[in-house]
Chain A
Amino acid sequence: MLTCSLAVKRPKLGIEAAFSVNAGETLCLFGPSGSGKTSLLSAISGLLRARGRVTWRDVVWLDSENNTFVPPWRRRLGLVGQSNLLFPHLTVRDNLGFGLEGESKGVVHRLAERLELGAYLDRYPRELSGGLAQRVQLGRALAPEPPVLLLDEPFSALDSVNRRSLQDLMLTLRQDLDLAMIFVTHDLAEAQRMATTLGVMHSGRLCDVGPMERVTMAPSNPTVAKLLGYQVLRHSDLVVNGDPNRMMLVHPDRVRMGRHPQQGLLVRAKVTGVEPYFTGARAHLMLESGRDLEARVSPWEPLSVGDTLTLTLIGLEGKEPHG
């Protein structure tokens, strides 16, 4: 198990995070750009000096209390970056074998087969497409068989088809290699696909971390909820009885047109705008209290601006959400 409890003190963006990842698990760090995800990875790898404690199994990588610091080159980590981090002066073969000592032919050959890179071994990085380059980066990181793999938005620059196939590859590799992975992304869909554990970062702090389902369905505080796409409403906005200041979380995906009292809370709203969204639409609504609300609308539920209708907020019964 990789256990981290880290703090980086900086004038601009300090970092504070505590979490652990088991072998075979993936912690996805999700958060907007500039929330400190990359810095956190750097602190784990030792590239950024941090205070706190980092341990892998019973090996201490960092313990600032006891002045223990294992430099990055002795931590046995794999690191996959955003892009363009292949060594431009080396062929794919030499990039793959870079982290190996001594005889590397066999390992490189097996990796190339596994990652379907066999045809590209003598190419240079500048001759590779984005998807291939990321495959090589992945292979280079995996070659020395590190027990921990850090991925820093590895697929962000790829088109959706390439991204999906590399995600699939990662999922099978995770099963086969029993890796502890930390996967940084600003794409929630990707985070949900890859994560067993989800961590949400905001301005340098790990605001919520837990099983992926729990964090996405019941975020522990309003900041995290907003980052996950929830809209934070008060009881007074919904015109329900109870403490008017109590907060409720409403996700655009969990708003259903019409009356379905057994599924959730009913509210009246007026349609103020409709815009296409994938095959359906995104509706901008105004509640009776004057509060705006956004909802996803299915293709079979035509709405037009000016309509007044009843909505069901799924899963809400006028109660406070988790936490």
Chain B
Amino acid sequence: MDSVHFLVNGEEIGLISRQRTSVATTHFTVLLPLAASVLVGLLLLPTVALLAHQPWTHLIGVWRQLGMGPLGISLMTTLIAMVIMTLAGTPLGWWIARGGRGWRVLEYSLLFPLLMPPLVVGLVLAYLLGPYGLFGPWFHALGISGTNSELAVVVAEIYEAMPYYILAVIASVRQVPRALEQVAWVLGCPPWKAAWRVLLPLAWPGLVAGLAMAFARAVGAFGAVIVVAYFPHTLPVAIWVGLQEQGIRAAFPLALLLLLVALPAPLILFVWRRMPHADL
């Protein structure tokens, strides 16, 4: 939850650094940067150390041999999951943010899948989608398998990632004063048009940040995915399998591949949100 707030409300960090210059004491000027660099070092060191011990030829070899299939599955399923999340999550978050008390209950209920351990989500899904589960037979009748299929992967990814996106939508919609939309109504815009012309332009940095976060969650989804869809291997599952069968030498290059896919979008967005032009 903290990270949602952090990304969406771009002001907070700026405030702290502005205060630092005004309260310029030695504690702040010396100790704080020191502590910060130690912390950052601790966070980055393991990755950098591992990276330094991997010859490039080995990395590329493993990627070619084990990585491409799972990468394709991961990207394709994540893409589909993202489209569904955007189409369903944006209006849902909007209604929750702007709706009355009844919708508030929905907001809290979203915390359920968010707080539920992914493994448990996977079990629930396996029960729902499995051949003897609640919906499994329906899928079977349609000739689709509810588990161990791309469909199962997409569903598991949505369950793991969508609450983050919806919460981001709620937060960024709430940030836009309702009075602004009402002014647009009085100026002749029906609510959907006001949402398009006023709400969306003001909320979209938050929405995009939410999408980036949801993307990182979906592409890295593991717990729920491995229970409900061991096959086809997604990249996170492939990492697990690689680790089980061949050890860290096979798993690490795949992990690195996952990082390369999952990290850039949220990172770029994070930096972009910190730049002055985003401060509307």
Contacts and interface: CB of A to CB of B under 8 A. Distances in A.
Q: Tell me, yes or no, whether A binds B.
A: yes
Interface of A: 45, 47, 71-79, 81, 84-85, 87-89, 98-99, 101, 140-141, 144
A47 B184 CA distance: 11
Nearest to B179: A85
Contact of B186 (A73, A84, A87, A89): A73
Given A79-B183, A85-B183, A89-B202, A73 B280 contact: no
Given A73-B186, A89-B202, A99-B188, 20 more contacts: A45-B186, A47-B182, A47-B186, A71-B190, A72-B182, A72-B186, A73-B187, A73-B191, A77-B186, A78-B186, A79-B183, A81-B179, A84-B177, A85-B183, A87-B180, A88-B202, A89-B280, A98-B184, A140-B187, A144-B188
Contacts of B189: 73
Contacts of B280: 88-89
B198 interface: yes
A47 B188 CA distance: 13
Interface residues of B, number: 18
B179 A72 contact: no
Nearest to A126: B280
Pairs of residues from A and B, 8 with the lowest C-beta to C-beta distance, nearest first: A99-B187, A79-B186, A72-B185, A89-B201, A73-B185, A73-B190, A72-B186, A73-B188
Contacts of A84: 177
Nearest to A74: B188
Interface in B168-184: 177, 179-180, 182-184
5 contacts: A73-B190, A78-B186, A81-B179, A89-B202, A144-B187
A141 B184 CA distance: 10
Question: From DSSP, what is the main secondary structure of chain A's interface residues?
Answer: loop
B173 to A, nearest CB: 15
Nearest to B183: A85
A243 B184 CA distance: 57
A120 B11 CA distance: 27
Given A71-B190, A99-B188, A81 B202 contact: no
A87 B196 CA distance: 13
A87 B198 contact: yes
B206 to A, nearest CB: 13
Contacts of A75: 186
A54 B231 CA distance: 65
Nearest to A42: B182
Contacts of B180: 85, 87
Contacts of B201: 89
Nearest to A101: B188
Nearest to A72: B185
Contact of A71 (B177, B185, B198, B202): B185
B100 to A, nearest CB: 13
Contacts of A88: 202, 280
Greatest chain A CB density within 10 A among B179, B189, B280 is at B179
Contacts of B184: 87, 98
B93 to A, nearest CB: 20
B186 A98 contact: no
A75 B198 CA distance: 20
A98 B198 CA distance: 10
A74 B188 CA distance: 6
Contacts of A47: 182, 185-186
Nearest to A47: B182
Greatest chain A CB density within 10 A among B187, B188, B280 is at B187
Interface string B38-72: 00000000000000000000000000000000000
Nearest to A77: B186
Contacts of A140: 187
B53 to A, nearest CB: 49
Contacts of A45: 186
A144 B188 CA distance: 9
Contacts of B185: 47, 71-73
Contacts of B183: 79, 81, 85, 87
Contacts of A76: 188
Nearest to B190: A73
Contacts of A77: 186
A166 to B, nearest CB: 18
Nearest to A124: B280
Nearest to B198: A87
Greatest chain B CB density within 10 A among A45, A81, A89 is at A89
